[in-house]
Chains A and B, each alone.
Chain A
Amino acid sequence: MNPTEYEYLRKFLKDNSGLDLSADKQYLIESRLLPLARKAGLSGIGELVQKLQGGARTVITDVVEAMTTNETFFFRDKVPFDHFRDHIMPEIIKARAAKRSIRIWCAAGSTGQEPYSLAMCLKDMGAALTGWRIEIIATDLSQEVLEKAKAGIYSQFEVQRGLPIQMLMKYFKQTGETWQVNPELRAMIQHRQLNLLHDFAQLGTFDVIFCRNVLIYFDQDTKINIFNRLARQIEPDGFLVLGAAETVVGLTDTFRPIPERRGLYKPNDPRAVAAKPALAGATPRLAVMAGR
């Protein structure tokens, strides 16, 4: 791959998926796109770039999907799910006792492990949620990934990463070498294709948003833009959950971290945030004042 081709791919990915590759990610492009080029019967990355420049639709989709698909597993990082069970849900259950309905969004649902992990957590709460209306919406950029998530079929290898054996026994059905999530659990989740760079206001507002390990791929302006739009889709007492390598700190005042609960964020009072330009530099104190 020559420098011109690399620059073209960088810009192409930035424009089409928001993926922001630094100048030294040639290996990543090669490892992901070379197999794809070969599969399409092309000689290499150079020819693939020509196809992209020619506007070949299927190739464009394939390239974006190949570059944005991440590894994932059940209960990834564990801690966010402990927070979900022990902190988020008890608070939400109390706050929504009259309404008895909860909306959760997995904004980077990928191949389904995260939304299914949340569904298992909710099922395990049993009686506390009997009669509640629970909506889990899982979105991802990639149609291929969504299909896998919808099917809920995982290899033996995949179900052994992060998934306790008791959960496997309780919520999966074995079919030969693979394991499929129970229909009851699958019915709890709606899968939708969504690019976070595009408008997502139509999804409505949520009590909990999981948006983990996706913003790290975006540049700062894009992150800020997404945070600000996420803030409009979250209930004032809702929760935002980010990945371990992600934070709002230094990027936006629309959310604030919850001390002692790593990865958890609360939306700030929008009025306090709106007042920010007049008091630039004094934002943290302003948020405290607004809370009085």
Chain B
Amino acid sequence: MKTCLVVDDSSIVRKVARRIVEALGFQVIEAEDGVEALVHCKKAMPEAILLDWNMPVMDGFQFLGTLRRMPGGDEPMVVFCTTETGIDHITKAMGGGANEYIMKPFDKDIVMAKFQEVGLIARDEQTAA
């Protein structure tokens, strides 16, 4: 089973994200900030990381930079999931090595679409109307 690391300082968002990502067939690990997320990544690289931007201690963008420089840190698919919806933030994130970008608020359909986009989950057969 693939693992997804959910990084967000809000326990409510983590809970919602966990439910969605588990339903997509992932085992979920949670982290409250970038530093905690790095600890998990050093132990075992997850296949997917759902990443908030604004967090105390270490924010999502700093985490991403550190992750991508780690051995094996280029492997996880990183999907930002943040209230930062400006094009400047999106451009910065994608330039910094993110694979996809979700603008909050999000729902299951959006997470699923983005996970399909980066190849984390297979596309369904064409959905009937």
Interface residues of chain A, those whose CB is within 8 Å of chain B, are 70, 77-80, 156-157, 160-162, 164-166, 168-169, 174, 213, 216, 243-245, 262-263
Contact of A70 with B113 in the complex, beta carbons under 8 Å: no
Contact of A160 with B129 in the complex, beta carbons under 8 Å: no
Contact of B128 with A169 in the complex, beta carbons under 8 Å: no
Q: What is the bound-complex CA distance between A97 and B102, given in angstroms?
A: 41
Please list 19 pairs of residues, one from A and one from B, whose beta carbons are closer than 8 Å in the complex, sorted by A's number.
Answer: A78-B116, A78-B123, A78-B126, A79-B123, A160-B103, A160-B106, A160-B110, A160-B114, A162-B113, A164-B117, A165-B100, A165-B101, A169-B87, A216-B129, A243-B126, A243-B128, A244-B129, A262-B126, A263-B126
Contact of B86 with A174 in the complex, beta carbons under 8 Å: yes
B113's partner among A79, A160, A213 (CB-CB below 8 A) is A160
Interface residues of chain B, those whose CB is within 8 Å of chain A, are 85-87, 90-91, 94, 100-103, 106, 109-110, 113-114, 116-117, 123, 125-129
Q: What is the bound-complex CA distance between A78 and B127, given in angstroms?
A: 10
Contact of A156 with B85 in the complex, beta carbons under 8 Å: yes
Contact of A243 with B129 in the complex, beta carbons under 8 Å: yes
Contact of B126 with A164 in the complex, beta carbons under 8 Å: no
Shortest Cβ distance from residue B82 to the other chain A in the assembled complex, whole angstroms: 12
Shortest Cβ distance from residue B81 to the other chain A in the assembled complex, whole angstroms: 11
Give the top 4 A-B pairs by smallest Cβ distance, nearest first.
Answer: A244-B126, A245-B128, A213-B129, A77-B126
In the bound complex, residues from chain A placing their C-beta under 8 Å from that of B129 are: 70, 213, 216, 243-245
B102's partner among A70, A160, A213, A262 (CB-CB below 8 A) is A160
In the bound complex, residues from chain B placing their C-beta under 8 Å from that of A169 are: 87, 90-91, 94
Output the nearest chain B residue to A77 by Cβ-Cβ distance.
B126
Q: What is the bound-complex CA distance between A160 and B79, given in angstroms?
A: 13
Q: What is the bound-complex CA distance between A174 and B94, given in angstroms?
A: 16
Q: What is the bound-complex CA distance between A168 and B90, given in angstroms?
A: 10
